Amino acid sequence: MRNSSNSTHGREANRDRTGVLRTFCDYFTRSRAQARHAASPRWQPLKTSFQQALTRLGGKTKGAAAPGGSKSAASMRDTHSPGFVATITRTGETIFDHRALRFQSLTLNAADIKLLEHPRDNLCGFKIRVAKHAGRRRHAGDLVQKRYAGRGYTTSQSDPDPNLSTFIAYDEGALVGTVSVRLDSPIGLTADDLYLVELDGLRDTGYRLCEFTRLAVDRAVASKPVLAGLFHTAYLYAAVIHHCTHAVIEVNPRHVTFYRRALGFERLGDERMNRRVNAPAVLLGMPFTTIAESLRMWAGKPPAAGAGRSLFRHGFPADEEGGVLDRLRVLVSER
């Protein structure tokens, strides 16, 4: 029995190492720019050693069943999405599952590479989830309160709202970002409190509105990929699934320039005092056709002339977007 147990543990260890090595090798060929970098003399020896180890381990694990009869991560990978793994989680809330943010860079250090050799210590990568349960929504609210309090704003936990969906980002098990999307309805949007005339003008034109609200990101992490992933998910949910045509958002006047340069929002209303957070606000808006075009041009591609400071350079590449959308459709239908 001991020999059988040791053999089983050995096969499991090899499978773990194989999966990590395969992911690491894929990481070198993520894009044309990355491929050129990986082919440089600095990285070629490391890449070659990983490929050789993967070949050796592949022969030992070929045909082995996954522990407990479950599918392996490779077999669960979405067919049209090399970077997206439609993992089956206990919560059933995961929309996007990828390597941890620090492993999505070509600047791995020795400590990072050492961690890759021990996959059981890195089970939690970068994930985006829909907050289906009260506990998740409460955690998202806690992050919002923490970030808003740091800026001197006042806020509280949001009440249950059937038209409000909250998306949350985790990196290595830690909550690092959240955004909520409220669909327009007879009840209206939160922004109607200050900008009813402006929003009714859009409605009268035939636009289908939604609002992005309660955005918060932990600044201790790589905020651009987190923001891009959250906004890309919000776009897919509102525009593709619910056929909204325009997004609006209330932001502090200090942040107008960022939203204009990074996301393409335009000013729709004058500065007014928002009593909900005890701070000034400006209404911004953007057609989803602008987001779609920006994602088509920049998402997942190397920096190029014209991209400027667009946050959509960090969005899901086209081959991953399909997997994210498929999973999001399933989760929405289960609500």
Q: Do 35 and 28 form a contact (C-beta atoms < 8 A)?
A: yes
Q: At how many degrees (to 10) do helices 288-298 and 223-235 cross?
A: 130
| Spatial distance between the Cα atoms of 141 and 149, rounded to a whole number of angstroms | 12
Q: What band does 309 get if pLDDT is binned at 50, 70 and 90?
A: confident
Q: What pTM was computed for the model?
A: 0.65
Integer-rounded Cα Rg, in Å, for the chain is 22
pLDDT for 251 equals 95
* Mean pLDDT lowest among 108-112, 151-155, 247-251, 283-287: 108-112
Q: What band does 97 get if pLDDT is binned at 50, 70 and 90?
A: confident
If phi > 0 it is left, if psi is from -120 to 50 it is alpha, else beta; for residue 173 that is left
pLDDT for 254 equals 94
Output the average pLDDT for the chain. 74
332 vs 47, residue with greater confidence:
332
Q: For the segment 150-204, what is each residue's pLDDT rounded down to a tens digit?
A: 777 777 667 778 999 999 999 888 889 999 999 999 999 999 999 999 999 999 9
How is residue 249 written in tokens?
A: 């958002």
Q: For the segment 279-300, what is each residue's pLDDT rounded down to a tens digit?
A: 999 999 999 999 999 999 888 8
How is residue 210 written in tokens?
A: 């939604």
pLDDT for 101 equals 59
Q: For the segment 4-20, what is each residue's pLDDT rounded down to a tens digit?
A: 445 544 554 444 444 54
| Spatial distance between the Cα atoms of 98 and 330, rounded to a whole number of angstroms | 19
